[in-house]
Amino acid sequence: MQENQTDNSKKLYSQKSIAIATYLGGPLAAGVLIRRNFINLGNEDHGKNALVIGIISTILLFPALFLIPEHIIDKIPNYVIPAIYTGIIYLIVDRLQGKELKKHKENKGQFYSSWKATGIGAIYMLIIIAGIFGYVFFSPDNLNTAKYDNGIAEFQKNEEKALELFALLETADGQQATDFILATGIPIWQKNLQILDELDNIEGLYKELKDQNQVLREYCKLRIESYQLIGKAIKENTNLYDSQIEEINQKIEGVLEKL
């Protein structure tokens, strides 16, 4: 097999970024990022294999968790299982792409930001959560499943669009980023709040789903607050808001852990 060759003109995801996305979005998110690295390293076939393995691993992982007795799973801290599969995937990435990533860094090649990886992980986490709740709780006798599914799908699509801000912050000038925040980013998060209100009004909605909606509502509000501060920082050309933005980002991570 021909060894992958690094191309410094193309960005890659670092092992740390892949680990962040994996912790949030499971093996599926890892497969997406590893696939992108393989493609940018010139090996699209390996990229396809990585994505397929990520999908299969996700399909196998979560049903397997349901097989663990409840009295055992209740004793396991929430972070343990994600930490385990994140560690395993970190080692796999090191084995498959470690040399190329190290060479890319030594040659001063560019890497995608950790924020972008975080956003991707969050998106796939929501996809997985929607699937799990749909499998466990949905009953066509007393719940409009199609309406809920469509609402979550729209929420996820909106989130993906809003998170494009972090790519703009890397590649565009400040004016483009602030325009995006005001015209697209914040309005999208506000639209997602409206979607959650509509989902709460679905007849027969389970309490677990309403609780999930409340966590997602908190997540959207924090994103709005974060975008407002980022916009102010760009407009005023200052670092004065960095500590506040970081504090909000930590709160966002805490909210995502609740999910």
Cβ neighbours of 91 (radius 10 Å):
12
Confidence of residue 63 (pLDDT cuts 50, 70, 90): low
Confidence of residue 244 (pLDDT cuts 50, 70, 90): very high
SS3 85: helix
Tell whether the model's pLDDT for residue 32 goes beyond 90.
Answer: yes
% of residues, the chain, pLDDT over 90: 46
pLDDT for the residue numbered 134: 64
The encoded tokens of residue 132 equal 């799990």
- For residues 31 and 54, the answer to whether their CB atoms sit within 8 Å is yes
Angle, CA 66 vertex, CA 55 and CA 220 arms, to 5°: 65
Can you give the residue ranges of every domain in the chain? 1-113, 138-259
Handedness of CA 97, 100, 102, 108 (dihedral sign): negative
CA 1 to CA 238: how far, in whole Å? 50
pLDDT for the residue numbered 3: 46
Q: Average per-residue pLDDT in the chain?
A: 86
- For residues 168 and 177, the answer to whether their CB atoms sit within 8 Å is yes
CA 91 to CA 250: how far, in whole Å? 26
CA 180 to CA 164: how far, in whole Å? 9
Question: Tens of pLDDT along 106-156?
Answer: 988 999 998 888 988 888 888 777 766 666 655 545 556 778 888 988 998
Confidence of residue 243 (pLDDT cuts 50, 70, 90): very high
Chain length of the chain? 259
pLDDT for the residue numbered 238: 93
The β-bridge partners of 242 are none
CA 232 to CA 224: how far, in whole Å? 12
pLDDT for the residue numbered 1: 38
The β-bridge partners of 111 are 12
CA distances from 110 to 8, 33, 101, 243 (A): 7, 15, 10, 26
